[in-house]
């Protein structure tokens, strides 16, 4: 069982809310406020899943997802994007970058963690306690 989730999010309010919801469900949340530290933390903490904001300073979410998927050691980690983009083409481009799914902001606290956990690999499906 891998109890770690990596949250890559530059907005302090969004990071607080997502982190709060995940911790309430037993996850250890590792937070990176930008793409470069997200890439470094992904290798360090070997998360069960990555929650990825698309609009980030520096390396944006699309570029970061492509780099994660290009690294054989990290490619298997599911990535779920979180974005305030509302156009259908934006969703397609997020999925084309290698993300498994795309959740729209503002997130719904009632469904957010369930939506993420649906993308866990089978060996990580059992929730942390
Ligand atoms: Mn952002």
- Distance from C-alpha of 116 to C-alpha of 32, rounded to nearest angstrom: 18
- Residue 44: per-residue pLDDT: 97
What predicted TM-score, i.e. pTM, was given to this entire model?
A: 0.94
pLDDT exceeds 90 at position 27: yes
Distance 81 CA to ligand 1 centre (A): 11
Give the span between the Cα atoms of 83 and 55, in whole angstroms. Answer: 7
Judging by beta carbons within 10 Å of its beta carbon (0-12, 13-18, 19+), is residue 33 exposed, middle or buried? middle
Per residue in 98-111, pLDDT (tens digit) is: 999 999 999 999 99
Distance 83 CA to ligand 1 centre (A): 8
Give the other-Cβ count within 10 Å of 107's Cβ. 18
For residue 112 the two structure tokens come to 């957010």
Mean pLDDT score, 69-94: 90
CA distances from 103 to 8, 46, 57, 80, 119 (A): 14, 22, 20, 7, 12
């Amino acid at each position: 069982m891998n109890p770690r989730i990596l949250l890559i999010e530059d907005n302090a309010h969004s990071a607080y809310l997502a982190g709060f919801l995940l911790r309430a469900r037993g996850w250890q949340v590792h937070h990176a406020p930008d793409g470069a530290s997200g890439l470094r933390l992904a290798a360090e903490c070997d998360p069960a899943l990555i929650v990825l904001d698309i609009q980030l300073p520096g390396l944006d979410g699309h570029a970061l997802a492509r780099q994660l998927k290009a690294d054989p050691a990290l490619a298997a980690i599911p990535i779920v994007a979180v974005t305030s983009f509302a156009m259908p083409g934006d969703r397609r481009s997020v999925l084309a970058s290698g993300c498994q799914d795309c959740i729209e902001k503002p997130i719904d606290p009632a469904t957010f963690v369930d939506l993420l956990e649906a993308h866990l690999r089978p060996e990580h499906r059992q929730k942390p306690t």
